[in-house]
Structure 1
């Protein structure tokens, strides 16, 4: 995914044909934004456009909908389209909307969608967007969906990307660099490149699967996890091992929870970095007992927190086992501060 000037994009690309059909004014809009030097998030695959997202900030009341929506600082999803092809690309763009909204400190995000786009409607509603109004134009009637960035339902996916810190346990979880880069695309180090990131389900998805032999049986739904990228060997771990992200546990399963290998593969394949052969190898090692953690990828740290800082500033014990480590509430909160996670998504 890249943020590019709209003027650099070919409006004649077949990708835009459906937008031209849905919105008679689309070409005029596109050319106006291009002339103004504005930009958009674009996903390319083999130089072909697979996704396009234009976002803008609005503060006025929304008066062209029924009922009228009062003044608020909002992100408007001005134009959004993906080519669905089984890689959960929509989730990656949804996360980009949330990241943008958090960065701009807005109250909500809103989008207008024709009801005929049922899959797209379902995708937005899955992450807490609710129908609040209707917009009627010569193009037809659209649903107006709004995501309140502070509302809580108690359901992890609907509340995403909020991080609840009261009555939850906190842990640090290690992952090797190769797997980390593929699983957490927004948490790359400065020395890494987005060429590592492919248009595949486990990269695009908001939901992640982590499989391990460590005893993580203490994990419960709603617990918070700090992702810790181990050293790549290019320098001392004191500086090269870093905390990069925060996730929320959706579910924990062990090998015994899967009735058979087919059930296990179906559960893991879309969200795990391992291919089917590797997943089968995990399952077929009869002398090994594994756990499967399903979690949401809530936020990448704005500033990576090195092992050195975790020891010297947070007070983590360098002699403890860092593969899976319980954190106190204070340690967790201080790590979030060092990582410069926005306070707007941290809730009681």
Structure 2
């Protein structure tokens, strides 16, 4: 496996002379997993442009050990590439595009960078699952280490109160810059007993935070938004550990809103060029609806949990899944499938279920056994099934075999890659959604079909095999993916107690 690293990850803000402990850890993992680490030649040109001679010398000393990507592809005449990301506006843009193009043309398997602009462009190109922030790369590649060498995962998302937090934590620095009244606000919400979700890094500082509240009053934006019961994400901050933690916090917010019978979630934000938060929330249906009447122009973003009126009239099933998650389209324009999954992988993909599968864990309980990919929304499923009817927007119901023998979870298919037999290509396709180690993928019988999907919900009442057979939904325990008709799916919805508020026909 060949991985390209952006030299920006080697620049340690605390001291130019050293590589950060996180990056040292990453490089060690890449070495132990026999991953080829390369630099793009354009990165060296960027370093040589630095007018600070001492910093240039130090940076060059850090990169001299890494081989250069030879014959790196050049996007000069690739109109489709520039159509998706736009023409470069500066020399830095040109360098970023060259680096990203090598991934786009599959000259390397993955790219590791802290550059938010590159992450945003990767999303526009449809290759964001192959572009990692450093901590995402650690999470991904440490799966391939022997168990004795696996790096302990620091994640432990906790529910608590604002009063539990240190207002001097570095995560609040930018908020304090944007909001002169931040300290007064923090004191007030702490005294009010405001709840939050957060996780702390190994050094004790906050790595991610979501503070929320319930509101009903109008939003005084331009244009104004009417009075509706909403969940406000008052603060959503994620440090450079990657978007999976931000995705998880959004999942928490959507869950709180749905449980409280709220129709909307919203937040306000000072948007910047290449804004990582905007990039993240756009993937889950937040829409820019206006600006607050402040001097700097704070943007307002609202996400509807289910549509009203003609909201969905022109949308595809996949677009409905994106814009109104956790709602989904289940009409006759999409097919429905039941997919068997063994408990081992069910536990990784759907960590809300305890090992025995006898009950769903509460969200707070599941945080104690934190499998990042298992708690996020976007997932990947591997199968040897020969079925070729699956398409974007179709529904997939997961049947947990061997122990509880029940349909437990529902997802919307985003993309299917049929009959893949090259392990490295499979790893690239799954990207940061992977719960599988390289050795597991290499050991699987090939070819494999890869199903990329959004996990929309777990069934409130898992549908047991005995009920599936008695209701003539299935003839027996499913051994491979099988299609069911609309009538059988309707029975599963009723028996499984899927909330019809989140289904669109």
For the aligned pair, the TM-score class normalised by the smaller chain equals 0.7 to 0.9
Task: Note the residue ranges of structure 1 that are not aligned, 5 or more in a row.
Answer: 233-239
1:204 to 1:136, Cα distance in 2 relative to 1, 3 A: farther
Conserved 8 A contact 2:339-2:478: no
Q: 1:163 maps to which residue?
A: 328
Superposed CA deviations along residues 170-222 of structure 1, whole A, max 9, x for unmatched, are 1211212222122123455447652664353x335422111111223221211
Tell me the TM-score normalised to structure 1 length.
Answer: 0.84
2:433 maps to which of 271, 279, 284 = 271
Conserved 8 A contact 1:187-1:301: no
Structure 1 residue 227: Cα displacement: 1.5
Conserved 8 A contact 1:87-1:199: no
Conserved 8 A contact 1:174-1:324: yes
RMSD between aligned alpha carbons?
2.7
Structure 1 residue 250: Cα displacement: 1.2
Conserved 8 A contact 1:197-1:203: no
Task: Note the residue ranges of structure 2 that are not aligned, 5 or more in a row.
Answer: 1-156
1:345 to 1:191, Cα distance in 2 relative to 1, 3 A: closer
Q: 1:235 maps to which residue?
A: none
Indicate yes or no: 2:415 matched with 1:251: yes
2:392 maps to which of 221, 241, 260 = 221
Larger CA Rg, structure 1 vs 2: 2
1:125-140 alignment, distance < 5 Å: 125-137=282-294, 140=296
Q: 1:181 maps to which residue?
A: 347
Superposed CA deviations along residues 214-245 of structure 1, whole A, max 9, x for unmatched, are 2232212111111222234xxxxxxx223221
Conserved 8 A contact 2:303-2:324: no
Higher relative contact order (Cα pairs below 8 Å, separated by 6+ residues): 1
Structure 1 residue 131: Cα displacement: 1.1
Give me the whole-angstrom Cα distance separating, in 1, the residues matched to 2:478 and 2:351.
Answer: 26
Give me the whole-angstrom Cα distance separating, in 2, the residues matched to 1:106 and 1:196.
Answer: 27
Indicate yes or no: 2:493 matched with 1:333: no
Q: 2:166 maps to which residue?
A: 10
Give me the whole-angstrom Cα distance separating, in 2, the residues matched to 1:84 and 1:341.
Answer: 36
Structure 1 residue 119: Cα displacement: 1.0
Give me the whole-angstrom Cα distance separating, in 2, the residues matched to 1:134 and 1:317.
Answer: 52
Tell me the TM-score normalised to structure 2 length.
Answer: 0.60
Give me the whole-angstrom Cα distance separating, in 2, the residues matched to 1:45 and 1:322.
Answer: 42
Structure 1 residue 136: Cα displacement: 3.7
Give me the whole-angstrom Cα distance separating, in 1, the residues matched to 2:401 and 2:190.
Answer: 42
Give me the whole-angstrom Cα distance separating, in 2, the residues matched to 1:127 and 1:121.
Answer: 10
More helix, by proportion: 2
Give me the whole-angstrom Cα distance separating, in 1, the residues matched to 2:275 and 2:191.
Answer: 33
Give me the whole-angstrom Cα distance separating, in 1, the residues matched to 2:367 and 2:377.
Answer: 20
Give me the whole-angstrom Cα distance separating, in 1, the residues matched to 2:424 and 2:448.
Answer: 16
Give me the whole-angstrom Cα distance separating, in 1, the residues matched to 2:233 and 2:186.
Answer: 14
How many pairs align? Answer: 331
Q: 2:215 maps to which residue?
A: 58
